[in-house]
Amino acid sequence: MKLLSPHLLAGLALRNRLVVAPMSRMQGDSAGMPNVDAAAYYARFALNGVGLILTEALYTAGPASRAYYGQPGLTNPEQAGHWRTICDAVHQHGGRLFAQLQHAGKLAEPGLHDRPLGPVDGVAAGLSWQTQRPNVPAHRATDEEIEQIVQGYGESARWAEEAGFDGIEIHGARGYLINDFLSAGNTRNDRWGDRPHLAEAVLQRVKAQCSLPVSFNYSQYKMDDYHHQMPGGPVALAALFQRLRHAGADILHLSARRILHPEPWGERLVDIAARSAPGPLLINGGIRTLQACEQALADTPADGVALARPFLANPDWLPRSLAGDVLRDYEPGMERRPLLA
């Protein structure tokens, strides 16, 4: 079974190609410290045989970066010390752990920041994800604020390496800040109006601050626009993936609602990335079963398959699947509940 075969991902030895995707578990206290359940939560996936685990999004050291209440951070030595305990727990059971680093942008929960930031003045559509309140207007980030954001990613990457993480993932998906800069709504007329420029700057700073492999998570869809498509279609996406690789993305982690289905122009994201910017690829979205994972690895050039909701409902997804046991269905709100037995 290809899914369970050992694999070298961007120089990192993994026992298999199965990945736990980031899930917003709100496992942080008011100071951004991971709570007492976090070590057990991540270690349990490793105990049950998963090769690579990605943390929930961790806010970075830049201004207005925290996205939601209860979000953990990676911005100082105290937080890094807590994450050291979690990394040790995962390693004890043979797993690998990446820190996913995020800046909220205009999707920050109302009330978290006096000055939420975006590429331009504007407000996200609809209601906020966590508290279901009207989103609040974000302000056009100044050049100084953007430089602080880039620097904050570098600082958080340094703390990630200090904490013992095996790698870093940059959150460039779902409408959060970096993804927002990549989108058509970025109509700036300065250097940051070159839409991939912020992603490149963050990747370059992270690579300069640590020696860990770096993944970049990209999606077209956004929390406030599930149907968003990259302006320019496959040509623009190919150019983006090339620039991300050149800037230092060792791994591209591609997310879609249905990752194995072609985009409207008839080609899948994973195929565009493999054709235009060869290198390690992870895929995520709409894959739920062991058979679907195996088929995905057979039908695409992906190096690994990431699952989210199936793992949230079944922390022991792999042994259950191998035994042919019935899997629990995901139910809305599971991410807000304590650890499942």
pLDDT for position 303: 98
pLDDT for position 221: 93
**pLDDT tens per residue across span 135-155:** 999 999 999 999 999 999 999
Residues catalogued as catalytic: 176
pLDDT less than 50: residues of the chain: none
pLDDT for position 305: 98
d(CA 91, CA 152): 27
Output the six-digit token pair for 17.
Answer: 């190609």
**pLDDT tens per residue across span 170-189:** 999 999 999 999 999 999 99
pTM given for the model: 0.97
pLDDT for position 340: 64
Question: Can you list the domains of the chain with their CATH numbers?
Answer: 2-336 (3.20.20.70)
Contact 178, 171 (CB under 8 A): yes
**What torsion do the CA atoms of 22, 161, 173, 68 make, to the nearest 10 degrees?**
70
**pLDDT tens per residue across span 111-129:** 999 999 999 999 999 999 9
